[in-house]
Amino acid sequence: MDDALVLKKRGYTLGIRLGEGSYAKVKSAYSDRLKSNVAVKIINRRKAPVDFLERFLPRELEILAVLNNRYIVKTYEIFETSDGKVYMIMELGVQGDLLEFIKFRGALPEEVCRKMFRQLSLAVKYIHDLEIVHRDLKCENLLLNKDFNLKVSDFGFSRRCNYDDDGQLALSKTFCGSAAYAAPEVLQGIPYNAKVYDIWSMGVVLYIMLCGSMPYDDSNVKKMLRVQKEHRVDFPRGKHVPADCKDLLYRMLQPDVSKRIEIDDILDHPWLQPSKQKKDCESCSKSSSKIDTKGETKADSRNESRRGLRADTDDEFDSEVLDEGKAEKKGFKSHCTEPTPTRAAGNRRKSSQKVKETIEEGD
């Protein structure tokens, strides 16, 4: 049956296409019940690979059904038709994703980075407390709502944690995600602690927000891995990063998994404290160099630079922080990777930018 007709019968008016993969697509729609726009992820079981149908999809559906956090994209409804199509009605990131946001505006002010990263940290704290891991945290999977608050999306590689008889976390053996955000242990194909893997990916995200570029050049994975294992984190020339923020980055991008910082310690870190956010917001309101959010992000902005990226109520954005300023369209630095399609469900491209997906029983 036609997607538009199926959705119409359930009170949704189908809109534009947001992304498409080999066996899934994402479209916008208007919900008569919610009186707002939503995102609709449509998965065609007949085109999907067996391992996805037997393992990844059931996990994603089960996990989405239990998640309820202000910094995670809401799932309103999931249903399936007799012709093998799964429809997932989800919250729409009306301001696009973090990748688009940074590509369009360049590196973000420190106070904006702190606010967004605290929101990401609260979301990860929430899922880790539920013994759920994401395993694909990256800028493309972090959506922004109308107020530019961050929402974690795409739980296609997520899973519940398992523990052995001694209470030790069972290591993951599915090597998934994007190479640019992958921890050294994942790149090396070593069974890994998935919670610790999420922390590394968070470190990459924070670096991108602060610097407008990737921390490592993944055009040569072997070389990138060597740099990572040396615990080298270089910053763009002329870019000032406060010492406490550098400390947090170094502790997240720690190649020794036994020394990598945990999510509770991230939230307790001095750089991330709400009191510091408040001071930043006060200084930001006096500053004339604010980010302009009046102009909408262009749909084709991702293609303008082919070689780059571009809780509590206290954790929400003050509308003034992201208002009335100038923004330049900036591509990421030349050593960055080409942007991958955003919000494109099912698009697990086999390329040098992706970590090899090695599927083993029991993971």
Is 356 annotated as a binding-site member?
A: no
pLDDT tens readout for residues 218-250: 999 999 999 999 999 999 998 999 999 999 999
Q: Judge whether 216 and 227 are in contact, CB under 8 Å.
A: yes
Lowest-pLDDT range of 246-250, 256-260, 274-278: 274-278
Q: What's the domain range around 220? A: 98-315
CA–chain centroid gap for 48, Å, is 23
One domain for residues 146 and 249:
yes
Two structure tokens written together for 4: 């538009």
* Boundary of a domain, candidates 315, 331, 347: 315
Q: What is the pTM of this model?
A: 0.79
Domain shared by 160 and 60, yes or no: no
pLDDT in tens, 60-69: 999 999 999 9
Q: What is the C-alpha to C-alpha distance for residues 62 and 132, in angstroms, rounded to an integer? A: 11
Residue that finishes a domain, picked among 272, 296, 315:
315
pLDDT of 335 higher than 50: no
Query: Residue 166 has what pLDDT?
Result: 87
Asked whether residue 334 is domain-assigned, the answer is: no
- Average pLDDT of the chain is 82
CATH number, domain with residue 134: 1.10.510.10
Cα torsion 249, 252, 258, 262: sign: positive
3-state secondary structure of 285: helix
322 has a pLDDT exceeding 90: no
Lowest mean pLDDT among 35-39, 49-53, 274-278: 274-278
What's the whole-number mean pLDDT along residues 250-266?
98
Q: What's the number of domains the chain is made of?
A: 2
CATH code at 82?
Answer: 3.30.200.20
User: pLDDT tens digits for 137-180?
Assistant: 999 999 999 999 999 999 999 999 999 888 889 999 988 889 99
Residues classed as catalytic: 136
Computed on alpha carbons and rounded to an integer, the radius of gyration of the chain in Å comes to 20
Residue tagged 């992304």 (tokens): 19
What's the pLDDT at 281?
A: 52
Cα 246 to the center of its chain, rounded Å: 21
